[in-house]
């Protein structure tokens, strides 16, 4: 059987030096960039076709002109002409029409938002640059009806289908398009975010970000927070304590990170820092990659109390002084408690100089009494340990 493993062959009369290694690295980078451009370009052409076909079905009033079965007929004719091509099913053609109709009356809003996003979003600008500037040139744009927005070309077709099927209005749809384009969401990540109603829950925490952070960072920091975090993926006894909540979240870390949102990197629980010779422990420490800053998360199993803000302020200042490097942005504090009152939080924030936010959580599953009792195996194990301890004492 042929061995398909890639082998690196070295030519004997070639001298490999640092300059060659650097040049080779540049070649590889250029090729990867070409691959990215090619994949985006393929997506662009496919989306442009879908948009224009959907536009034609609407603008030409195809069903009025040729009958109610015209979409099915176009589907059959295209499949017959291009038997090896996918995407010509009747269902997909109906999606193309719905896609165009969904946005056709909001061209001005889309253009306005697209300009704002492309002027401020680093990830989207980077993708546009990789493609070599504007994605859709004037000569490829629609001559009749609404043009396909540039921003849409950074999102795969099946994502667009999910968005128009689940979103109630254009603003909500554009919200998910922007996040998909800038954060590289998979279709599953998009579906999870829509199901969790990320559009209405993101950016909802009570914060002082607008006063304590510069404009670009404060907007992103606000956007990654939620008013209420859904902890329905963990179960705890009725009288659970903070340590149990921390442990449960750490055991379900993947789900917890999904609930926090994209960009969070977990650095540990009960992270110790030494202040004035005394050890202090942070409930949870994260680093947010797009924000380029540490995020101290404090968990409370009781409603918000004013003194919580002072403690979180202390931790944020300590991380800024002891862990943060000069190239990183100011540390952010996020307090997640069982409940909160906005007035109390606003008063507690007065005089605080560090950027902080307060959110709540809900939906923790409470274990039934039977689930809290030890199993037979656990009881036997405890008895064996007890017997071993007694034997050691003899």
Q: Which regions of the chain are under pLDDT 50?
A: 1-2, 118-120, 131-135, 137-143
Q: Is residue 78 part of a domain?
A: yes
Q: Is residue 390 part of a domain?
A: no
Question: So what's the pLDDT on residue 163?
Answer: 95
Q: Is residue 168 part of a domain?
A: yes
Exposed e or buried b per residue across 60-87, where buried means at least 16 C-beta atoms within 10 angstroms of its C-beta: eebeeeeeeebbeebbeebbeeeeeeeb
Q: Is residue 340 part of a domain?
A: yes
Q: Is residue 381 part of a domain?
A: no
Say yes or no: 117 and 251 in one domain.
Answer: no
Phi–psi pair at 337, nearest 5 degrees:
-125, 175
Question: So what's the pLDDT on residue 175?
Answer: 86
**Calpha distance 222→209 (Å, rounded):** 7
Say yes or no: 115 and 231 in one domain.
Answer: no
Identify the burial level of 24 via C-beta atoms within 10 angstroms of its C-beta, where 0-12 means exposed, 13-18 middle and 19 or more buried.
exposed
Say yes or no: 155 and 171 in one domain.
Answer: yes
Domain C-terminal end among 200, 220, 239: 200
User: pTM for the full model?
Assistant: 0.59
Please give the torsion angle defined by the CA atoms of residues 29, 31, 35 and 40, in that order, rounded to the nearest 10 degrees: 70
Q: The CATH number of the domain where 297 resides is what?
A: 3.40.1350.10
Half-sphere exposure in the Cβ direction for 175 (13 Å, CA) = 18
Q: Is residue 375 part of a domain?
A: no
Q: Is residue 383 part of a domain?
A: no
258 token code pair: 């999904």
Say yes or no: 184 and 310 in one domain.
Answer: no
Say yes or no: 104 and 157 in one domain.
Answer: yes
Phi–psi pair at 295, nearest 5 degrees:
-130, 115
Say yes or no: 232 and 319 in one domain.
Answer: yes
Domain C-terminal end among 144, 169, 200: 200
Say yes or no: 249 and 293 in one domain.
Answer: yes
Say yes or no: 276 and 338 in one domain.
Answer: yes
Question: So what's the pLDDT on residue 132?
Answer: 46
**Calpha distance 75→71 (Å, rounded):** 6
Which residue is it, tokens 């689940």?
Answer: 166
Paired with 362 in beta bridges are: 230
Question: So what's the pLDDT on residue 23?
Answer: 83
Say yes or no: 180 and 221 in one domain.
Answer: no
List the domain range (segments joined by +) for residue 101: 18-200
The structural domain count of the chain equals 2
Say yes or no: 236 and 177 in one domain.
Answer: no
Say yes or no: 180 and 149 in one domain.
Answer: yes
Say yes or no: 254 and 363 in one domain.
Answer: yes
- Radius of gyration (C-alpha) of the chain in whole angstroms: 28
Q: Is residue 377 part of a domain?
A: no
24 token code pair: 């080779």
């Amino acid at each position: 059987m042929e061995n398909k493993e890639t082998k690196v062959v070295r030519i004997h009369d070639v001298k490999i030096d640092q300059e060659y290694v650097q040049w080779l690295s540049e070649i590889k980078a250029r090729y990867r960039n070409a691959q990215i451009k090619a994949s985006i370009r393929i997506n662009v052409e496919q989306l442009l076709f879908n948009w224009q076909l959907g536009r034609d079905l609407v603008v030409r009033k195809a069903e009025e002109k040729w009958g109610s079965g015209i979409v099915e007929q176009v589907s059959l004719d295209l499949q017959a002409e291009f038997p090896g091509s996918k995407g010509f099913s009747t269902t997909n053609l109906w999606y193309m029409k719905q896609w165009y109709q969904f946005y056709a009356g909001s061209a001005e809003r889309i253009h306005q938002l697209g300009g704002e996003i492309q002027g401020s979003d680093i990830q989207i600008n980077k993708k546009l640059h990789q493609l070599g500037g504007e994605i859709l040139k004037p000569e490829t744009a629609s001559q009749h009806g609404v043009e396909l927005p540039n921003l849409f070309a950074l999102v795969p077709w099946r994502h667009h289908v999910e968005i128009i099927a689940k979103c109630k209005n254009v603003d909500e749809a554009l919200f998910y398009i922007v996040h998909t384009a800038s954060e590289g969401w998979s279709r599953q990540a998009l579906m999870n975010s829509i199901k969790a109603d990320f559009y209405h829950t993101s950016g909802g925490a009570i914060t002082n970000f607008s006063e304590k952070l510069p404009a670009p960072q404060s907007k992103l920091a606000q956007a990654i927070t939620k008013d209420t975090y859904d902890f329905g993926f963990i179960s705890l006894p009725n009288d659970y304590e903070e340590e149990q909540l921390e442990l449960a979240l750490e055991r379900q870390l993947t789900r917890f990170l999904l609930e926090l949102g994209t960009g969070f990197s977990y650095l540990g629980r009960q992270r110790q820092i030494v202040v004035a010779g005394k050890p202090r422990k942070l409930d949870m420490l994260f680093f947010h990659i797009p924000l380029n800053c540490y995020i101290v998360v404090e968990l409370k199993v009781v409603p918000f109390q004013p003194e919580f803000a002072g403690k979180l302020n202390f931790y944020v200042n300590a991380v800024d002084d002891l862990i943060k490097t000069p190239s990183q942005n100011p540390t952010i504090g996020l307090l997640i408690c069982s409940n909160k009152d906005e007035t109390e939080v606003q008063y507690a924030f007065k005089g605080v100089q560090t950027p902080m936010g307060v959110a709540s959580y809900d939906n923790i599953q409470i274990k039934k009494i039977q689930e809290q009792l030890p199993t037979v195996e656990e009881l036997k194990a405890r008895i064996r340990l007890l017997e071993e301890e007694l034997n050691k004492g003899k």
